[in-house]
Structure 1
Amino acid sequence: MIRVNLFLKSKLAKLIKGQSRADVPGWVLVVLMTTALVTGIWSIAAPKLTTILRNSLDAMGGIR
């Protein structure tokens, strides 16, 4: 039982060491996917947001 425990601890330590290098590509992937989602949502929402902004500015121009 002790041998199995030591074996598993050594394998776990090696696995943890190996994962520390993989964190950077993981974060890069998260940033790229987030950027893609924001760009996609922005391209869909931009015309509506432009219309809302123009209507608001036109309404403000009538207040003067």
Structure 2
Amino acid sequence: MTVIAKMQSRTIRAVYTLQERLDTEDRERGDVPGWVLITIMTAGLVTALWATAQGALTGLFNSAVHGVTGGGK
């Protein structure tokens, strides 16, 4: 194999490899990252808990603040 043929072969392999990598990245762009799903699910859980236990959570928070500042006694 001549030097030019070797260089041509390497160049073609590099182009195909690059094309495969670019194609793979394009296919994954539509996926939602895991941290986005975790954030949305956490926000949903907090909203659901707050809606069902708002009175108890507010009382717990006020009691804790008064206990720290000494305003409760």
Considering fraction of residues, name the structure with more helix. Answer: 1
Larger Rg: 2
After TM superposition, the score normalised by the length of structure 1 is 0.48
Higher relative contact order (CA 8 A, sep 6+): 2
After TM superposition, the score normalised by the length of structure 2 is 0.44
